[in-house]
Amino acid sequence: MILMGTERLVVDAMLGSLARKLRIFGFDAVYFREGSDSELLRMALSERRVLLTSDRALSERARARGAPCLLIEGSSDRERLEALWSSARASGVELSPGPSRCAVCGTVLEPLKRADVRGLVPERVAASHRVYFRCPGCDKLYWKGGHWTRLRKLSSIVVRR
């Protein structure tokens, strides 16, 4: 099974914090919070999303139904991210993230200039950061630095492995 350039994922309810990180990395990651396993599998198949789950029984069910699925083990998000990339390699799934997305709602972020965020972010942030993004979906602001940098750094460590 080879899926070229997959950025579309659906993440099961146990992996919410992983879903938020994957959006920042540039994946179109739907977080499937409510609904049955059957509904989850239907969504993965109809929307052509790769299913990420830490539930072995569900991953076996997915495979039996022909839904691409990656089993994600590990207890921290870092371990889970590493598991994601190695599981993708082992399954012939090519992960290809696009532009960063909002961690909250998954919309692709728009770049903003420093001048545009004046008054919208704390003084100390405005003084020390130059690159900003806004989510057109929910209006949340992001800036490169701090949490963001740690996340991107984590993703590049994981991707290079």
Kind plus residue range of the DSSP H or E element containing 10: strand 8-12
Cβ 141 to Zn ion, closest distance in Å? 10
145 is a contact residue toward Zn ion (CB under 5 A): no
CB of 17 to Zn ion, least distance (A): 16
Please report where in the chains the tokens 């022909």 appear, as a residue: 66
Q: How far is the CB of 109 from Zn ion (least distance, A)?
A: 8
**Span from 91-99, 101-109, 110-118, 151-159 in contact with Zn ion (CB under 5 A):** 101-109
For 106, other C-beta atoms within 10 Å of its C-beta total 19
Any contact of residue 112 with Zn ion (CB under 5 A)? no
> Residue 138, interface with Zn ion (CB under 5 A)?
yes
Among residues 88, 135, 142, 155, the one that binds Zn ion under rule CB under 5 A = 135
Total site size for Zn ion, rule CB under 5 A: 8
**Candidate list 11, 102, 109, 151; residue touching Zn ion; CB under 5 A:** 102
Residue 28: in which H helix or E strand, if any? strand 28-32
CA distance 48 to 66: 11
Angle between helices 37-46 and 56-65 (to 10 degrees): 50
Q: Which of 98, 87, 73, 74 is nearest to 1 (CA)?
A: 87
Contact flag: residue 104 with Zn ion (CB under 5 A): yes
Contact 31, 11 (CB under 8 A): yes
> Which of residues 14, 90, 105, 159 is near Zn ion by CB under 5 A?
105
Output the smallest distance, CB 133 to Zn ion, in A.
Answer: 10
Q: How open is the CA angle 157-69-38, to the nearest 5 degrees?
A: 140
Distance CA 1, CA 153 (A): 30
Work out whether 41 is an interface residue with Zn ion (CB under 5 A): no
In the complex with Zn ion, the residue whose CB is nearer, 74 or 137, is 137
Q: Contact positions toward Zn ion, by CB under 5 A?
A: 102, 104-105, 107, 135, 137-138, 140
